[in-house]
Amino acid sequence: MKKMIFFMTGLTIMFSACAQTQPVDSTQTNKTDSTMSNTINKTDEEWKKELTPDEYRVLRQHGTERAFTGEFYDNHDEGTYTCAGCGTPLFPSDTKFNSGTGWPSYYAPMNDSCVAETKDSSLGMVRAEVHCAKCGGHLGHVFDDGPKPTGLRYCINSISLDFIKK
């Protein structure tokens, strides 16, 4: 029983920490591949005017939506997932798969220049955080436990995305 209580307490702490936000470090969020042109640089006030409060919390403050609640978690339509901040095409629907994590997951982005990665050392672990290469918006994280052909799992917040149906 003590082990179960300890385990449940740990899960509660972990999930509440995931929902907390972190301020945007502009040196990381604007890290882009040299092939991505016309990067977008806006002030916090400009972003706040254009995004909903929840979009701002995730895209600009590195927040996380709760698992299994996002609009695109269970979307099976054909099309393209784009950045909710700037409209950049990010993930084709044919790379989406059910990872069982509660967030939309993809094994590959549209191309190598549409997303950027930075080191995330929060929550007592080191992960690769994924950003839109054009506007620097926080999308989620990428892990090396995905399916073939890439072996990658881009675990992305639905609220960071829009969808253009084919």
Token couple for 109 = 């982005």
State yes or no: is 155 an active-site residue: yes
> DSSP 3-state helix, strand, coil percentages of the chain (rounded to 5)?
25, 25, 50
- Cβ atoms within 10 Å, residue 67: 14
CA 165 remoteness from chain centre: 20
Amino acid letter, residue 30: N
86, 132, 135, 155: the active-site residue: 155
- Cβ atoms within 10 Å, residue 142: 22
Long-range contacts of 46-51 (CB under 8 A, 24+ apart): 47/85, 50/85, 51/84, 51/85
Q: Is 134 helix (H, G, I), strand (E, B) or coil?
A: coil
Residues with active-site annotation: 155
